[in-house]
Amino acid sequence: MSCMSAKDIYHYAVKNALIKEGWKITNDPLVLRYGADKTEIDLGAERLLAAERDSEKIAVEVKSFIGRSKINDLEVAVGQYVLYRNLLERLKSERELYLAVAERAFFIAFQESAMGAMLLEDEQINMLIFDPKEEVILKWIKQRATGT
């Protein structure tokens, strides 16, 4: 049994921001299979975008952080990020995974929150910080070296 989840409210803003930066969207969503399991990395209201520029390949998980609980949003986002990163590594994918969050959400969830800052450092989360209104990427944070 499978069901399609709604796209994250910022899905198209991130997609358009990547296109503006010269990325080519190759998968929307990026489907991953492991054993008999399959995920579209579309759990809840999130979507994964896959894009490539030159020889760089990325996968982007978009998160809105608009739930009632900042900590719950953080648990879901980091849990999904770790699952997707592990899947990509096991599948020997060339894609680097990024968690895309709006600038305000990044500040609240990963800078203002001690738990978020701890997870960002301990889990080595690659981040893509964007402006949802202007549909532009403000900052890339790459924590992990390729192939580690």
Give which of 58, 53, 41, 50 is closest to 126, Cα–Cα: 58
Cβ–Cβ under 8 Å, residues 121 and 111: no
Supply the pTM of this predicted model. Answer: 0.86
pLDDT in tens, 73-113: 999 999 999 999 999 999 998 888 999 999 999 999 999 99
CA dihedral 18, 22, 26, 31 (to 10 degrees): -30
First to last CA, the chain: 34
The domain 11-141 is placed in CATH, from the list 3.30.930.10, 3.40.50.80, 1.10.4080.10, 3.40.1350.10, at 3.40.1350.10
- Return the structure tokens found at 48: 């994964």
Structural domain boundaries of the chain?
Answer: 11-141
**With a cut of 70, which residues of the chain have pLDDT below it?**
1-7, 41-49, 52-54, 144-148
What is the pLDDT at residue 8? 77
Strands 127-131 and 96-102, by their bridges, are parallel
What is the pLDDT at residue 39? 79
